[in-house]
Amino acid sequence: MLGAAAAGGALSKYLGFRHTELSAGRLIAEMDARAELLTPFGNLHGGCLAAMVDHCLGVLFYPVIPSGSWVATTEFKLNLLRPVSDGVCVAVADIIALSKRSGVARIDVTNHGNPVCVAQGTVTIVSPKAGAS
């Protein structure tokens, strides 16, 4: 899972997510604020940060859920704190609650060491169907 960011799908690959740390309960991921992701005003589109938050929610729980299970984002809320115009966005995602059927995480995104986005989200944990292999 650590090296699987670009293999996670077309959007993850296009946005260039990189996982730099993945352990039970924590994910650190990065994304470059490339020119083609900037708005006409020169700032990273907020949708890129939202996609990063959703991506982190989708990956963070895999080390701690049963094998064969999968997660689906149920909801997330984010606050965009300041614009990003260049450099690397670093997301630190931590699990703050976990049950058999759901999980809640907090994601803090920084750029040049400054907070640019804070988010909290919930995932549904889907167990494999009985008899499925």
Instruction: Give residue 8's pLDDT.
Output: 58
Instruction: Give residue 24's pLDDT.
Output: 97
**Average pLDDT, stretch 10-16?**
92
**Average pLDDT, stretch 103-124?**
98
Instruction: Say whether pLDDT at 3 is over 90.
Output: no
pTM given for the model: 0.91
Helix, strand, coil shares, percent, the chain, to 5: 25, 45, 30
Instruction: Give residue 120's pLDDT.
Output: 98
Nearest to 58 by CA among 11, 10, 122: 122
**Average pLDDT, stretch 15-27?**
97
- Please state, in angstroms and rounded to a whole number, the distance separating the CA atoms of residues 20 and 27: 8
Residue that has been written with the tokens 């994910």 in this structure: 27
pLDDT in tens, 45-68: 999 999 999 999 999 999 999 999
Residue that has been written with the tokens 């009985």 in this structure: 130
CA angle 50, 59, 131 (to 5 degrees): 130
